Structure 1
Amino acid sequence: MASCADILRSEFPDLDGEVFAYVTGILHGGGADFESVDDLVEAVGELLREVSQDTKDDGAIREICQRLFNTLQLDEAQAQRCSQVLLDAPIQLSQITDGCADASADVLPGLLLKRGQTSMVNAKKLEKAEARLKAKQDKRMERDSLKSSSPLVLQEASASQAASKKETRMESSGKNKSYDVRIENFDVSFGERVLLAGADLNLAFGRRYGLVGRNGLGKTTLLKMIASRSLHIPSHISILHVEQEVAGDDTLALQSVLECDTTRESLLREERDLTAKVNAGRGEGTEGARLSEIYAKLEEIEADKAPARASVILAGLGFNAKMQQQTTKEFSGGWRMRLALARALFARPDLLLLDEPTNMLDVRAILWLETYLQTWQSTILVVSHDRNFLNAVATDIIHLHSQRLDTYRGDFENFMKIKEERLKNQQREYEAQQQYREHIQVFIDRFRYNANRASQVQSKLKLLEKLPELKPVDKESEVIMKFPDGFEKFSPPILQLDEVDFYYDPSHYIFHSLSVSADLESRICVVGENGAGKSTMLKILMGELAPVRGIRHAHRNLKVGYFSQHHVDQLDLNISAVELLARKFPGKTEEEYRHQLGSYGISGELAVRPVASLSGGQKSRVAFAQMTMSCPNFYILDEPTNHLDMETIEALAKALNKFRGGVILVSHNERFIHLVCQELWVCENATVTRIEGGFEQYRDILKEQFRKEGFL
């Protein structure tokens, strides 16, 4: 096939050297930039039409450009193939040089202007063509730069697994009837980062597994790989992953749950269609028999009891009778997530995957869910950082660490005891072996050159080689959080609401005659059902919402740090944590920003990664670093433990206990409340009540309510 130079010579025999050099330079220097023939026409078409002196029209110029484009594509393909060829023999550079000299003798005369010859090209046209090409290249570079600056968009989780021939045969033959899940020797990665390597996961049917581990190690990613069947799960095992909220439409909440039972819905739909045919006289005579079959199947699956079962699940998760008859589009995102959980519980899959289910629930709903899941008949795999929830629900704990999974029988407290004992035994064995190795090595070093002891030395060397290689305990780094003190001695009142009324709609009071107060020694936890007004009260205390009636009083030197349960919405996900602090608090050095982030576990490479690529818990830590940067003397925290791993929750509790200032928080994490709070406020019936007996008394009150309502 002719080269680009040959095509230009044949089509433009009078083309002068300057134009020839310019066009061939564009073609070969930026050939990869031409994605289509249109790009090439735009770059050199007008210039070629100019030098052809109107002997070629637009169609002819485009045809020539098409030939040039095809040649460039072929050259690029050949170059890629050649770059992968291994040389069979050495190449003599002198031969290449000679070849190049011969080739240049043919080409150069056409590229050089003869002495005294003037260029025929229009200088302005040439400048325009160069400007168009430069603009195109700049645009392409900008697009590539955007791609490279946002690697997280391209990053995806992936999983690979060593196939078991035995299981594959059983699966294809249909003989595998077991509902146990066995995933052996698999890897999971996120982008270039390996999360699990050579891991094994065994889930026995009917067991309830709690998946625990530090933030960012891949717990959520593992659930997604199982749900998408990127890891092999037998096809007859149904899987349901509660991940996304229910779509908002005109479907009633109760009906949305009932629709999860596809078998029941299909039978009812067919029954309605057949009945309509019979009533309209359009039947074929077989409808009666089919209807009898449908009625028998509906009775077999207890279809008539389904609405009552769905209603009990919804009520347990906080939906009263009125809410169950509302359309899904009327609910907020948090309530739609509850609907998604209700649908999963109603559908009763063989394998239920839950990712932090307590994050979306209040204490009352958590207590109900704990009780409901204790009677669950199939398999559950739940990611949770709520110790009390895992103690109540889990029959086994799976610990994700060091790119592997370790399984422990029993609840979370039992896991902690066994893990500590395992680590102690592992360390003891390692230390004992190290001493033994040193003892043998001393003998070898002492008699290495002693001919009389040569056989003994050889024996000791072989013994060393046969010893199994034990590893020291891989201790996880301790999580440390510290809230800077902004403490000054203020005279009370510090923060107070006096006879406050508040509503969004005058027909529905959120608070009526509310009176509460806090000081710099306060450690107050606010609990109550979702929608009772907890977050609203926090905003009134901060001054973000003004009371309709009543007075809010705050000390003039009070500086409040606020952590929202929707803290991620407040972060710019497209920049790094360091950049985020620099924009929020300009004028400091990068080291100061890094030190602040490091105080909350965001150090090293994590500090300069885009916030969007961080896990939920890591984003929470960034939000804490941002909140404390201005050294507040009073913290108001709305669900601060959501997405945090247990180690970070413990560290947060210690930091709050050491902090010399006031704290009011909303939380449903029982252990966190016990660790931090000295006072409990219950938000209900448009007011706030102080519970003297603390969380234990509140829990007993809820249990008594459940018994009266028939839920327990």
Structure 2
Amino acid sequence: MIDFNQITLRVGTKVLIEDFSMQIHNKMHVGLVGKNGTGKTSLFNLILGHYEADKGNVHIQPHLQMAHVEQEIRNIDQTAFDYVLSGDAELIELRKAEQKALDDNDGIAISHIHQELERIDGYRADSRAAALMTGLGFNPEDLHQPIAHFSGGWRMRLNIAKALMCRSDILLLDEPTNHLDFETVVWLENWLKGYQGILIIISHDKEFLDHTCNYILHLEQQKANLYKGNYADFQRMRAEKLILQQTMYEKNEKTKAHLENFIRRFGAKATKAKQAQSRVKALAKLADIAPVVATNEFTFSFLKPDRLPDPLLTMDNVAIGYEVGKPILNNVNLTLTPDTRLGLLGKNGEGKSTLIKAIAGQLSIENGDYTASEFLNIGYFAQHQLEYLTVTESPMWHIQMLDPLISTQEIRNFLGQFDFHGDKALESIERFSGGEKARLALAMIVYQKPNLLLLDEPTNHLDLEMREAIAMALQTFEGGVVIVSHDASLLEMCCDQFAVVRNHTVTLYEGDLESYRTQVVTERSNDEKSAAGTSTPSTEAKLDFNERKNLNARLKKLERDIPKLEAEMAKIEAKIAKLDDILGDSDTYLNKSHDEIQTLNAQKDQCSTDLAAAEEAWLMAGDEIETITAQLNA
């Protein structure tokens, strides 16, 4: 059990959560939701013991084993399999003790250790680790590769596998679906359904929360409210609660106005003094009911395309690749029209992004016919779209680059639809969050009035509000849409047809997303069973850029960038640790002014922002190194 007792939690001078009490019991699967900045990650850190509450306390029974997903891997020379296996710390200690007992020929110790291994199901540990890795998308030949072989995104999967390997009583997962494909998300959902301990998940994926959680803890306006049920249940109950609250508030205000009016009219009259006094007492007893505060929910819409040719483009028996004679996809047949709502499914690495690039005209066609209308206007949101923004410039500058003749006021009006108001439109985007940068990238696409949208993982970095805004905007978009996403909610709302990219082909799927989900669960289950005792290397590499020369140059630059980014992260972490020491010292608050303490808190916030940006750059660089290396070796 986790027992929160009258918790108040601040970051600097900002109150995140106030006077929060709750107990989380075994088998409660809790989705932790709320807008960015409401305290979700801080609450995680409180549970982990990284933060202390400003008031109250958190009690976790000392015998409970807690697991969470680590953010980095220190020893990158060990194999992926050994790293995942180390998630079961007791198993590792028993195996070390067993080896020592064998070396010492200590029969009594060996017998005791074997009993302990039996107790913790240690003889199935290797099979369990292999099954976890397979479920998370690793091939059998990956198991015994050194961690250094994997990119940042795949290392995050290893960290998830290690957390799941732990025989934990409490499992904390912070945005676990980031960088996963739809198939792996489905597997993870299925695994978590069977988890028998306390599960707490931070996620912006509604469908994922629906499939994994039986409680939702909602953080809003310094309060934490618990709802029984999944995310869909939470949305319904919260809406009902807000309607009831507003009704009670209006009734309360009406009663209050009536009483105040009576007191004002008759309070001075001797004949009515007694009645007036009773009204004063009644007024004092009225409950203080707050009105429902309307939130500024973000919405936008796509501009109407200038033309809508039908078809927009066709691909007839097309072969697609990055090098002549080495196609990644063969015999691709697609017809895209203004009515197309196509979702691309398939594991990472099968060629979904390759197909999107080919549709966008960024890859040469080796065989077959690619025919695009002369009026085709593509809006392409690539998987790493944020890299193409100029971080030293403002949102206004980015729109001006698209249309130098547009007036400043027209730009302001347009950017206002994407929540870039006032000075925000003129700020350098260097300090923008991932969500703000994604909004700008989307605004640039919308401004160009595309009639075909190609969206490759558009929801990365986005919160629930922004994801819902995209889904709603796509409902009224008048052109064709092709989407790659691990977000099932977005796919279900926006796609009426699916295609599976697998084994170098693209096949239209005769079914809905739910039937595909069932198929994935069955296939992954079979893969886990077959992977439990196998590990044979046979990695198939694929190329991802046109020219080998450019790939080599890019690879060298990335390899130089990695140690620089690691050094930068270490430097920032040291700054944060130093600031934590200062802010954690009671003498600081005796010897420094309020403004000086505010400055220290601001410095820490800035360091945290810088660290998040450096970590994201490190992850993306690692992903690209792995991709390029595989392509060069193909």
Please state if 1:667 is matched with 2:494: no
Counterparts of 2:502 and 2:194 in 1: how far apart (Å)?
Answer: 30
Change in CA separation of 1:370 and 1:707 when aligned onto 2, cut-off 3 Å = same
Please state if 1:562 is matched with 2:380: yes
Q: Which amino acid aligns with 1:310?
A: A
Deviation at 1:463, TM superposition (A): 2.4
Contact 1:247 1:329 in 2 (8 A): no
The answer for the alignment partner of 1:637 in structure 2 is 455
Change in CA separation of 1:336 and 1:248 when aligned onto 2, cut-off 3 Å = farther
Deviation at 1:468, TM superposition (A): 1.9
The answer for the alignment partner of 1:427 in structure 2 is 246
Q: Which amino acid aligns with 2:134?
A: A
The answer for the alignment partner of 1:31 in structure 2 is none
1:374-403 residue CA offsets vs partner (Å, 9 max, x unmatched): 111221111223222222210100112122
Unpaired runs of at least 5, structure 1:
1-178, 279-286
Q: Which amino acid aligns with 2:379?
A: G
The answer for the alignment partner of 1:599 in structure 2 is 417
Counterparts of 1:273 and 1:294 in 2: how far apart (Å)?
Answer: 11
Contact 2:4 2:59 in 1 (8 A): no
Aligned counterparts, 1:148-297, within 5 A: 179-189=1-11, 193-200=14-21, 202-227=23-48, 229-231=50-52, 233-234=58-59, 236=62, 237-242=64-69, 244=71, 246=73, 249-276=76-103, 287-297=106-116
Change in CA separation of 1:627 and 1:245 when aligned onto 2, cut-off 3 Å = farther
Larger radius of gyration: 1
Contact 1:246 1:339 in 2 (8 A): no
Counterparts of 2:325 and 2:404 in 1: how far apart (Å)?
Answer: 46
1:190-224 residue CA offsets vs partner (Å, 9 max, x unmatched): x6654434444542233110112234544344434
Deviation at 1:429, TM superposition (A): 1.1
Change in CA separation of 1:636 and 1:220 when aligned onto 2, cut-off 3 Å = farther
Could you tell which deviates more after superposition, 193-202 or 630-639?
A: 193-202
Counterparts of 1:312 and 1:601 in 2: how far apart (Å)?
Answer: 45
The answer for the alignment partner of 1:518 in structure 2 is 336
The answer for the alignment partner of 1:453 in structure 2 is 272
Q: Which amino acid aligns with 1:656?
A: L
Counterparts of 2:36 and 2:114 in 1: how far apart (Å)?
Answer: 51
Contact 2:8 2:15 in 1 (8 A): no
The answer for the alignment partner of 1:657 in structure 2 is 475
The answer for the alignment partner of 2:284 in structure 1 is 465
Counterparts of 1:680 and 1:377 in 2: how far apart (Å)?
Answer: 34
Could you tell which deviates more after superposition, 225-234 or 416-425?
A: 225-234
Change in CA separation of 1:710 and 1:328 when aligned onto 2, cut-off 3 Å = closer
> Relative contact order (alpha carbons < 8 A, sep ≥ 6): 1 or 2 greater?
2
Please state if 1:542 is matched with 2:360: yes
The answer for the alignment partner of 1:142 in structure 2 is none
Contact 2:190 2:521 in 1 (8 A): no
Deviation at 1:654, TM superposition (A): 2.1
Could you tell which deviates more after superposition, 459-468 or 698-707?
A: 698-707
The answer for the alignment partner of 2:347 in structure 1 is 529
Change in CA separation of 1:711 and 1:427 when aligned onto 2, cut-off 3 Å = farther
Contact 1:533 1:683 in 2 (8 A): yes
Q: Which amino acid aligns with 2:253?
A: Q
Deviation at 1:636, TM superposition (A): 0.6
Q: Which amino acid aligns with 2:50?
A: R
Counterparts of 1:616 and 1:457 in 2: how far apart (Å)?
Answer: 59
Contact 1:212 1:384 in 2 (8 A): yes
1:86-116 residue CA offsets vs partner (Å, 9 max, x unmatched): xxxxxxxxxxxxxxxxxxxxxxxxxxxxxxx
Change in CA separation of 1:263 and 1:376 when aligned onto 2, cut-off 3 Å = same
Contact 1:227 1:240 in 2 (8 A): no
Change in CA separation of 1:271 and 1:491 when aligned onto 2, cut-off 3 Å = closer
Counterparts of 1:629 and 1:478 in 2: how far apart (Å)?
Answer: 21
Equivalent of 1:403, from 197, 216, 222? 222
The answer for the alignment partner of 2:261 in structure 1 is 442
Change in CA separation of 1:201 and 1:546 when aligned onto 2, cut-off 3 Å = farther
Counterparts of 2:396 and 2:8 in 1: how far apart (Å)?
Answer: 35
1:584-632 residue CA offsets vs partner (Å, 9 max, x unmatched): 6656555444433332234457556664655443332222123323332
Please state if 1:368 is matched with 2:195: no
Change in CA separation of 1:427 and 1:360 when aligned onto 2, cut-off 3 Å = same
Change in CA separation of 1:685 and 1:535 when aligned onto 2, cut-off 3 Å = same
Change in CA separation of 1:508 and 1:488 when aligned onto 2, cut-off 3 Å = closer
Deviation at 1:643, TM superposition (A): 3.5
Counterparts of 2:233 and 2:153 in 1: how far apart (Å)?
Answer: 32
Unpaired runs of at least 5, structure 2:
531-634
Contact 1:181 1:205 in 2 (8 A): no
Counterparts of 2:425 and 2:104 in 1: how far apart (Å)?
Answer: 67
Contact 1:448 1:457 in 2 (8 A): yes
The answer for the alignment partner of 1:311 in structure 2 is 130
Counterparts of 1:393 and 1:342 in 2: how far apart (Å)?
Answer: 17
The DSSP-based 3-state class of the residue aligned with 2:189 is helix
Deviation at 1:488, TM superposition (A): 0.6
Change in CA separation of 1:485 and 1:219 when aligned onto 2, cut-off 3 Å = farther
Give me the TM-score of the superposition, normalised by structure 2: 0.75
In the alignment of these two chains, the number of paired residues is 524
Q: Which amino acid aligns with 1:524?
A: L
Contact 1:216 1:617 in 2 (8 A): no
Counterparts of 2:209 and 2:187 in 1: how far apart (Å)?
Answer: 14
The DSSP-based 3-state class of the residue aligned with 2:365 is coil
Counterparts of 1:254 and 1:208 in 2: how far apart (Å)?
Answer: 28
RMSD after superposition: 3.0
Contact 1:215 1:615 in 2 (8 A): no
Using the aligned pairs only, state the percent identity: 35
Deviation at 1:522, TM superposition (A): 1.6
Equivalent of 1:682, from 500, 512, 524? 500
The DSSP-based 3-state class of the residue aligned with 1:636 is strand
Change in CA separation of 1:602 and 1:529 when aligned onto 2, cut-off 3 Å = same
Q: Which amino acid aligns with 1:229?
A: H
Change in CA separation of 1:551 and 1:216 when aligned onto 2, cut-off 3 Å = farther
Q: Which amino acid aligns with 1:440?
A: L
Deviation at 1:336, TM superposition (A): 1.9
Counterparts of 1:262 and 1:330 in 2: how far apart (Å)?
Answer: 24
Deviation at 1:640, TM superposition (A): 1.6
The answer for the alignment partner of 2:235 in structure 1 is 416
Greater than 6 Å deviation, 4+ residue runs:
505-508
Deviation at 1:577, TM superposition (A): 4.0
Q: Which amino acid aligns with 1:631?
A: K
Counterparts of 1:246 and 1:505 in 2: how far apart (Å)?
Answer: 34
Contact 2:131 2:528 in 1 (8 A): no
Q: Which amino acid aligns with 1:403?
A: Q
The DSSP-based 3-state class of the residue aligned with 2:177 is helix
Equivalent of 1:346, from 141, 155, 165? 165
Deviation at 1:657, TM superposition (A): 2.1
Q: Which amino acid aligns with 1:414?
A: D
1:635-683 residue CA offsets vs partner (Å, 9 max, x unmatched): 1101122343333323212211212222111123222222211221111
The answer for the alignment partner of 2:593 in structure 1 is none
Contact 2:483 2:491 in 1 (8 A): no
Could you tell which deviates more after superposition, 226-235 or 579-588?
A: 579-588
The DSSP-based 3-state class of the residue aligned with 1:490 is coil
Counterparts of 2:200 and 2:408 in 1: how far apart (Å)?
Answer: 42
The DSSP-based 3-state class of the residue aligned with 1:358 is coil
Deviation at 1:182, TM superposition (A): 1.6
Contact 2:320 2:355 in 1 (8 A): no
The answer for the alignment partner of 2:200 in structure 1 is 381
